[in-house]
Amino acid sequence: LNCETSQTVFLGVHLDDRVAFTNDYDLMTNGFLTAPIYFPGTALYAAVQGRHRAMARLERAVNSSRRAMAKPNAEPDCLLDFWSIEVNEQCAHAKEAGEKEPHFANDHDMADSIMDFLFASQDASTASLTMITATMKEHPEILARVVKEQDTLRPNDEPLTYDLVQEMTFTRACVLEQLRLQPLSLIHISEPTRLLSISYAVFCLKKKKINATNTHPYQLHIYPI
């Protein structure tokens, strides 16, 4: 379920063989936990080969997305499509100005970034799916309302679209409440050793301030302190 969710969100219809990709991706992640012995027949060798095959599929997915989004009136289906639209526009502007295309505007580099996103999303996706499943089990009346809304909006199990998700007012409210109850990512910043102010997109750490760590048991399981 986790792999299916991540692949749908990031790659949509552009991933040509999800089963083969998932198998290769699993080989790659298993390689992080194996002995550093690299020759044919070892788990590390299988992991490296699995990554090569997974990257080849991602490059084909990027190429498919960029070609699809270059067509007139193309409708984005996943995050890769939105990114492809932006990259295609930047390449078009560079061509008009007689400049080189952006350094990241190639299938390999974009596929490499998608691999990073897929890898980074595993903890968050696994945690969110696990926690909301547990919460729904504890509140069957809430689950019944979610199911009713889904049956109304997707009677034939229609694929998700942005507009359809916007209509899922109760389902989205449940997701937001789950994120409030169990935030997915732990932020822990130690006391600054120098008198510095650190600015981020949504908050600023002032000089000589300590960020309080969220000690929810779920987060301690993933990020032990």
Q: Could you tell me which residue, 38 or 186, shows the higher pLDDT?
A: 38
Read off the pLDDT of residues 138-169 as tens digits, 9 standing for 90 and up: 999 999 999 999 999 999 988 877 788 899 99
Contact of 12 with 78, CB cutoff 8 Å: yes
pTM listed for this prediction: 0.67
Q: What is the pLDDT of residue 219?
A: 47
Q: Could you tell me which residue, 87 or 121, shows the higher pLDDT?
A: 87
Mean pLDDT of 76-86: 91
Distance (Å, whole) CA 2 – CA 125 = 6
Least confident of 10-14, 20-24, 177-181, 216-220: 216-220
Distance (Å, whole) CA 38 – CA 24 = 17
Contact of 182 with 126, CB cutoff 8 Å: no
Q: What is the pLDDT of residue 191?
A: 52
pLDDT of residue 171 exceeding 70, the answer is yes
- Average per-residue pLDDT in the chain? 82
Q: What is the pLDDT of residue 160?
A: 77
Of all residues in the chain, what percent carry a pLDDT higher than 70? 81
Read off the pLDDT of residues 91-143 as tens digits, 9 standing for 90 and up: 999 988 888 888 888 999 999 999 988 888 777 777 788 889 999 999 999 99
Read off the pLDDT of residues 174-196 as tens digits, 9 standing for 90 and up: 999 988 887 766 555 555 444 44
Mean pLDDT of 68-74: 91
How far from 140 is each of 128, 143, 173, CA to CA, in Å? 18, 5, 16
Neighbouring C-beta atoms of residue 9, cutoff 10 Å: 16
